[in-house]
Amino acid sequence: MRSVSIIGFGQTRFGELWEKGFREMIAEAGVKAVQSAGLDGKEIEAVFGGTMASGRFIGQEHIGALIADQLGLNPIPSTRSEAACASGSIALRNAFHAVASGDHDIVAVGGVEKMTEIDVGATSFALGGAGDQETELFHGATFPALYALMARRHMHDYGTTEQQMAAVAVKNHKNGMLNEHAQFHKEFTIEQVMNSGYVASPLKLLDCSPISDGAAALIVAETGKAKKLVEQPIEIIASSQSSDSLALASRKSLTELAGTKHAAKTAFERAGIKQKDVSVAEVHDCFTIAEILAIEDLGFFKKGEGGKATEQGRTALNGEIPVNPSGGLKACGHPVGATGVKQAGEIFLQLTGKAGKRQVKGAEIGLTHNVGGSGATVTVHLYRRA
């Protein structure tokens, strides 16, 4: 397989973008990515786009064709990827394989979701389809409820506290203050998070990621060609994907995501590196407990120590492993189809030294972790300077 690198990134602001439609967001992110790579768009040979529930959110399917049409890229092939909240990272993984195999040399990756066009109840129903509709959603088990079950068990088994989960939100909102594209530019204290009201105990409003609109795009190329096009390509040194039971009740454990552990093990083995080599990570913090589970299952901390590590500042921007410098899903926002692409884009910025005030000093190797549903699909990607 050939080496594959990212050479460009662009995104819209994430948030309630009343003034922008689905098509406009695609165009904005795509044009920014092409310009970032110093291209004019004619060099792109294929498009891979991620979106989870455009049919339910805006009544539009056939998104692959829409993306190519909107960006003026016809007649090149354009393919939609769907894996719930991991749709964007699956699109990246498909692009990675297309270039690594030699089928294409330069491709575009996109992720987009317009979630605010329908009421909150309809949005919750659409998102609930990422779990087991028959055994969970039908009986009223929303995603806050499912992650609340994980949180309760983690608290029972390891002594994790609500204050430690709140520390995740505090950290990520602090990071989001430094990200111009973030949905929220507001810091919170532990006390404010604790007083924000329960959504599904022990998870409170400020433990939950928001409903968001937004798009993100990447340009991916064969590394040899990438080095001729840009000064500093970022090589994707591993791409891994794992699956698990769709329903939470079918899992062996509520305190870990087996998909994360398997995907991480495979990715680190393929890259030939260890967790201690990672400089910066973007992980899936749809709820604060999700980040705690992620940093444990990825191998950065032992099981049960993720909450304490966060509380101690070990995952802060200046900590031993900075996690979610973008603000994560929690503060930057979570337009579900775009999240996995944005995560990779943040690592691209970090490793090229272009992350501005949130720049992690000396960042050389990055990781992204993207979850579909409550863990039925997980992707892990590793990156380094080419």
* pTM summary value: 0.97
Residue-wise pLDDT tens digits, 296-321: 999 999 999 999 999 999 999 999 99
Find out whether 122 and 114 touch, Cβ atoms under 8 Å: no
Residue 137 has pLDDT above 90, yes or no: no
Mean pLDDT of 191-204: 98
Domain 4-119+212-234, CATH number (from 3.40.47.10, 3.40.50.300, 3.90.550.10, 3.30.43.10)? 3.40.47.10
Position with higher pLDDT, 314 vs 121: 314
> What mean pLDDT, rounded, does the chain reach?
97
65-74: Cβ within 8 A, 24+ apart: 66/22, 66/23, 66/26, 67/26, 67/30, 67/110, 67/112, 70/23, 70/26, 70/27, 70/30, 71/26, 71/27, 71/30, 71/31, 71/41, 71/47, 71/108, 72/41, 73/41, 73/44, 73/47, 73/108
Binning pLDDT at 50, 70 and 90, where does residue 247 land?
A: very high
> What pLDDT score does 141 carry?
87
Q: Among 26-35, 129-138, 335-344, name the one with the lowest average pLDDT.
A: 129-138
Average pLDDT over residues 99-124: 95
Using 50, 70 and 90 to split pLDDT, how confident is the model at 147?
very high
Q: Give the residue among 305, 301, 298, 304 at the shortest CA–CA distance from 261.
A: 298
* Ranges in the chain annotated CATH 3.40.47.10: 4-119+212-234, 131-206+236-385
- Residue 135 CA: distances (Å) to CA of 54, 142, 146, 374: 24, 11, 12, 14
- For the chain, give the percent of residues with pLDDT over 90: 93
Catalytic residue, from 85, 208, 286, 332: name it: 85
How much is the average pLDDT of 149-173? Answer: 98
Q: Which residue among the candidates 154, 334, 369, 381 is catalytic per the annotation?
A: 334
Fold of 131-206+236-385: Peroxisomal Thiolase; Chain A, domain 1 (3.40.47)
Active site residue 85: yes
